[in-house]
Amino acid sequence: MCLLFTGFLACAFFGIVPKAWAADSMVDRVQTIIRARLDVDPATISLSCQGEMICGIQMLPLAYRDRKQLPLWIDASLRLEKAEALAEAIDRAGEDGLLPIDYHQDAIHQLLAEVCEQASAASPTEVSPELWADLDLILTDAYLLYASHLTAGRVNPETLHTDWKINTDAVDLSASLASAASTGDVEAALKRLRPAHRGYTTLRNALADLRSQTAANGWPVLNVSKTLRPGDSSSAVGDLRHRLAVSGDLGPMDSHEDSLFFDATLASAVKHFQQRNGLKADGIAGPSTIGMLNVPIEQRIRQVVVNLERWRWLPHDLEARYIIVNTADFSLKAVENDSMDLQMRVVVGRPARRSPVFSAIMTYLVINPYWNLPTTIAVEDILPELQKDVAYLAQRGIRVLENWGLDAPEVDPTTIDWHAYHANRFPFRLRQDPGPYNALGRIKFMFPNQFAVYLHDTPNRSLFTRVQRDFSSGCIRVEAPTVLANFVLTGDKRWRPDALTEAIEKGETRTIRLKHPIPVHLVYMTSWADETGVIQFRSDIYDRDRDLDRALTRRRPNQPPDFVD
């Protein structure tokens, strides 16, 4: 039996040019079989091939329709270069963090081997037409499934998280299939389906680097029971130096210095590791740093795989100018023409009220805003304080309105028996006046969405000094709101920086419609490669990695991809 790829190229029948009439006759017979196989009601009948469930039974008739059911991967001379090219591409699916076995890998290998064996014993025209048809159908199904996963992800995020609402772009998989099958350049066709974002490419490269480190025995475990500081000298320091050299945090030349002494070079390497792992970069190897250093490389590989999937969920075009907030990194970036214009710290939702993931368009901002407290916050956070002391409201500039109507009258809070109200009975609207205590600060940035989440200023500046900044009730507090406002107002001559500052200082509430609305992407990435290609890791503050990792590794029949005809 021939071996796949290198063995196939040595198959005797590849050097044989069959008679045209014999090849044409075989293609006609394969066409007849494909037509019969696809002439079923997909709603009531499932289709299997070589024991493999065909996942795209509803899509396959469309794929073959314009070809009048002629095979896609077998040419008129019964050569298999295109089939081989797809099989090779599927074998490399792991480079994108996907599983080759999801795309009929074993069945394709077996079918190609059987075709090769039968052809070697006689000629390509003597191979069973059923075998040719099986091979073509399963290759087409594999391509459609693989292509759909590259362009939109293997897992639907909304089946895992109710607060994840990113809609990927519609992609014409039918056209992609036709291009791959007609040209035989499968890799080029698949490359066009991958996310074009630089972040996806760099993270994909990082996955390859981590796997190469795994092949070289991965990272050593540090058995360190005490904190290591600059100036220390011990065998544990030598182990720390070796560990940082293996992961690339310490340069190869530096790793050969006095291995047992904790010098300034080693402290710098510790800081580098801490920075790329979201830790306080103090150059001291304490329990948190040692714990991060001892995370197995296999776990980091899974973390990269999980985040590659999240890139596939994002819109393929983030626009030339956009704002992106990574809640797992507590950071905001403003980007224009692939260049980062500004970056700042943010405070995101705490685990009990985590910030959602979605894309929306920022259309306006409000200076000196009122804050209408969400009912959840009013009931869970404010009501218990009110029940202790009604003066709590006046101290924070919060008024009570009778209901949520536009013209709802104000109510004197001292006339209300607050103990009579609870989560299921709270008709009031609490509204905080603009001013120094207003929780939204001086500016809020509005991009209408179903979660009622937005970006805003905050009077509590101290939280931005924390390393882990998950303290909000879901909205995003920004470190430098005026700087961000100037970015989003770029190109609007009415709102130069001095005009904005003057309007804020007046203290009047004012809505500013953006002349150039800008996309805002709230994402959750616990791993990425930065602008210099250095891989970054962050803690999974919302416990989302685990669920996605389980979904990605679960072996199950997949839903067919959506076609754009």
Positions marked active-site: 456, 475
Contact 126, 118 (CB under 8 A): yes
Q: What are phi and psi of 122, to 5 degrees?
A: -140, -95
How far apart CA 503 and CA 493 sit, in angstroms, is 15
68's CB contacts (< 8 A; 6+ apart) are: 31
Give the residue carrying structure tokens 């065909």.
Answer: 54
Rounded Cα gap, residues 72 and 184, in angstroms: 10
96 burial (CB, 10 Å; 0-12 / 13-18 / 19+) is buried
With contact defined as beta carbons under 8 Å apart, do 171 and 57 qualify?
A: no
Q: Give residue 290's region: left, alpha or beta (phi > 0; psi -120 to 50).
A: alpha
Long-range CB pairs of 456-462, under 8 A, 24+ apart, other chains included: 456/369, 456/481, 457/481, 458/347
Q: Are strands 339-349 and 470-472 parallel, antiparallel or unpaired?
A: parallel
Q: What is the Cα–Cα distance from 524 to 548, expressed in whole angstroms?
A: 12
DSSP reduced 3-state for 40: coil
How far from 163 is each of 143, 171, 359, 521, CA to CA, in Å? 31, 24, 12, 14
Cα 437 to its chain centre, rounded Å, is: 36
C-beta pairs of 265-269 under 8 Å, 24+ apart in sequence: 266/230, 266/237, 266/240, 266/241, 267/230, 269/241, 269/244
Instruction: Provide the token pair at 564.
Output: 């754009």
Check if the beta carbon of residue 504 is closer than 8 Å to that of residue 382. no
d(CA 304, CA 313) in angstroms, rounded, equals: 15
Measure the CA dihedral 412/414/420/423, to 10°. Answer: 60
Cα-Cα-Cα-Cα torsion 181, 187, 190, 191, nearest 10 degrees, comes to -140
DSSP class of residue 539 equals -
The kind and range of the H/E element at 442 are none
CA dist 482 and 367 (Å) reads: 10
Closest alpha carbon to 541 in 556, 562, 564, 524: 524
Partner residues linked to 197 by β-bridges: none
Nearest by Cα to 105 from 131, 86, 81, 82: 86
CA distance 534 to 203: 9
Number of helices (H), then strands (E), belonging to the chain: the values are 19, 18
Distance separating alpha carbons of residues 282 and 273, to the nearest angstrom: 10
Report the amino acid identity of residue 299.
Answer: Q
